[in-house]
Structure 1
Amino acid sequence: MTSSTTLALTGVTGALGGVVAGHLADLAPRLLVRDPGRAPSIDGSEVRTCTYGDAEACLAALEGVDVLFLVSAAESPTRREEHATVIDAAARAGVRHVVYTSFEGAGPDATFTLGRDHHAAEQALADAERTHGMRHTCLRDNFYLDVLPLFADDEGVLRGPAGDGRVAAVARADVAEVAARILRDLVEGGAAAEQHAGAVYRLSGPEALTLDEVASRAGAHLGRPLRYEQETVEEAYASRRAGWPDAQQFELDAWVSTYTAIADGSVAEVTDDVPRLLGHPARTLEDVLGPSLVE
């Protein structure tokens, strides 16, 4: 690949993709969005409209693209089909390399139920490589450090069946920085690009925390009393159904399995991929929370 490589980014109106777009603004990436009115303003960037489930729109939007950053689709009953559609469109459009945001422990029987969707997407990428030669890189992110304190309700209580399990949650900023580093390597080409072909990067934070530790440390940093309260799986389903009576079963399963994945150790491993790729330590919970509100 050369400096004329065309880079396309999805998810740029979201919390992750928007940061990646900012890191790569000097490359004037093509921005693929559902709503062009929400696309960030980047000098020289072209905006194309498509949804993952619309094969022809994706094919047109991806025409001439060499490298694609594919942020996983929003959770829905059709998520796997949407991923398969956009991946197939990318392969047919001649995209050479896709960088996909997957999840730690992605697999057909992942405890975190949405991890099974990511496994299906990874399989679709592998199929596209076999049939079309389209390379891919998977970023298997752990849960986001940024989100964990938001599990707390209005009373400052994090409730769920996580037991004493640990989670090596990662800062969203670190994931965005890793993605931008890899995408820049792919655009610039050479040996740096080759190392990412077929790579699976497991992105974690610098430590594995229990939810008791998350609550106490976040609370101390924010000057707000937070605590973790254990639930059984049955209690967790009941409380979510009561709080969100219109929720679909897949949403309930995802919410509850967030905690059971912590309980069974599925998301507890600390990896070195973030510091190895970025050359600096992964951000801590306190780093993510920003300046302390407690003097």
Structure 2
Amino acid sequence: MIGVTGATGAVGGRVARLLAERRRPTRLLVRDARRAPELPESSVRAVSCYSDADGMRAALDGVRTLFLVSADADPERVGQHRTAVDAAVAAGVDRLVYLSFLSADPDATFTFARDHFRTEEYIRGRGIDFTFLRPSLYVDLLPSWVDTDGVIRGPAGDGQVAWVSRDDVARVASVVLTEAGHAGRVYDVTGPELLTMARSAALLADFAHRPITYQDQTPAEARASRSDHGAADWEIEGWVSSYAAVATGEMAVRGDVVARLTGRTPQSPAEFLRAHPDSVEPLTRN
């Protein structure tokens, strides 16, 4: 039995469907059972949040391998992850595949990546087999980085990103969850090409058929430009530091994990945008 958290979400949902295609018995953990996908060989358990230790433990009864999608960004996220991991161990889960983030490190520039490192370290200390998937930034979200005036703003400088699609991340996860030989491995899951933010903006412009550009900012300018969004300081710092991590080179990682594990060449940003024109539609209307 394979457990999948976030089974109504962008990555967890994709993984659940791929496991269903493989006819693998799957336990889908969701917040709202009414929204759970109806898939063959799957059962559904509703759990309000990772902090619900008893609910998580009950939902994982009988699960032997768990795909743990990281919780939404939150100052208490690491604590939520620890509760979920403890519940998995108490329920008898033998192997945990955690969806982490590229360049997770205690001193990562991207503040949220520090949460992922702390979660990884906690999992390592719980005596359970693990695999960590560290995806790059999602190309699926690239269009949302564009402001309404057609500009991507942030302190990314000339740094590069190997944008990866959620589809490719899910394919890697489904392989790791169903095949042996991945215990103790840490996989950087990236797209096939490194792009600067300026080149990423130009690529979006090609598909949106309108001008889209990149404006480099200092970290202070980036914080000030986001100060009226009504977000908390920690959230603004997360946004700003995601760009800053590009500038430092921490996101300039391009690997072969997708091709090596799935046998498929990962989608380039252009291929993704061509295959998902709906992702560009909001840009054409601005």
Q: CA deviation at 1:183?
A: 1.1
2:31 aligned with 1:37: no
For residues 235 and 91 of structure 1, the distance between their equivalents in structure 2, rounded to whole angstroms, comes to 45
- Hey, which bits of structure 1, 4+ residues long, moved more than 4 A? 291-294
1:113 match: 111
- 37 and 238 in structure 1: CA distance in 2 versus 1, 3 angstrom threshold: same
Match of 2:59 in 1: 61
Matching of residue 153 in structure 1 with residue 147 in structure 2: yes
- TM-score normalized by structure 1? 0.90
Whether 1:288 aligns to 2:272 is yes
The one-letter amino acid of 1:146's match is D
Q: Which amino acid aligns with 1:23?
A: L
Shift of 1:63: 1.0
Aligned partners of 1:31 and 1:279: how far apart in 2? 26
Residue 215 of structure 2 is matched in structure 1 by 229
Letter in 2 for 1:162: A
**What pairs with 1:134-153 in structure 2 (closer than 5 Å)?**
134-153=128-147
Structure 2 spans left out of the alignment, 5+ residues: 281-286
Q: What pairs with 1:219-258 in structure 2 (closer than 5 Å)?
A: 219-242=205-228, 244-245=229-230, 247-258=231-242
Deviations 1:80-135 (A, max 9, x none): 10000000111111100011100111011111110011011101110112xxxx20
* Cα deviation, residue 291, structure 1: 4.7
Code of the aligned partner of 1:217 = L
Tell me, what secondary structure is at the counterpart of 1:261?
helix
Task: Give the TM-score of the pair, scaled to structure 2.
Answer: 0.93
Q: SS at the partner of 1:85?
A: helix
Q: Deviations over 1:49-92 (max 9, x none)?
A: 22200111111111111010100001111101000000011111
- Following superposition, the deviation at residue 233 of structure 1 comes to 0.7
1:8 to 3, 11, 34: 3
- Cα distance in 1 for partners of 2:52, 2:2 equals 20
Query: Is this contact kept in 2: 1:215–1:226, CA < 8 A?
Result: yes
Contact 1:144 1:171 in 2 (8 A): yes
Which residue, out of 237, 242, 264, partners 2:248?
264
Unaligned runs of 5+ in 1: 1-5, 186-192
1:84 corresponds to which of 77, 82, 85: 82
Establish whether residue 177 from structure 1 lines up as the match of residue 171 from structure 2: yes
Residue number in structure 1 paired with 2:50: 52
Alignment partner for residue 186 of structure 2, among 176, 179, 200? 200
Percent sequence identity over aligned pairs = 46
Corresponding letter in the other structure for 2:139: L
Matching residue within 268, 274, 278 for 2:258? 274
Question: Which secondary structure state, in structure 1, belongs to the residue aligned with residue 40 of structure 2?
Answer: coil
> How many residues matched?
275
Change (3 A) 1:164 1:126: same
> Pairwise mapping of residues 209-228 of structure 1 onto structure 2 (< 5 A)?
209-228=195-214
Give the partner amino acid of 1:57.
G
Deviation at 1:171, TM superposition (A): 1.2
CA apart distance, 1:224:
2.8
The CA deviation string for residues 209-237 of structure 1, in whole angstroms up to 9 with x for no partner, is 00110011121123232110111111100
Question: What RMSD over aligned residues (CA atoms) do the two structures have, in Å?
Answer: 1.4
What's 1:72 paired with? 70
Amino acid in the other structure paired with 2:210: R
Q: What is the one-letter code of the residue matched to 1:7?
A: I
Alpha carbons of structure 1 residues 291 and 98: separation in structure 2 relative to 1, 3 Å = closer
Partners of 1:142 and 1:17 in 2: CA distance: 16
Shift of 1:280: 2.0
Decide whether the 8 Å contact of 1:28 with 1:42 is kept in 2: no
* Per-residue deviation, residues 14-68 of structure 1 (Å, max 9, x unmatched): 1111111111112241111111111111134211122200111111111111010
Q: Deviations over 1:112-167 (max 9, x none)?
A: 110011011101110112xxxx2010001111111122200111110001111111
Q: Which residue number in structure 1 is paired with residue 16 of structure 2?
A: 21
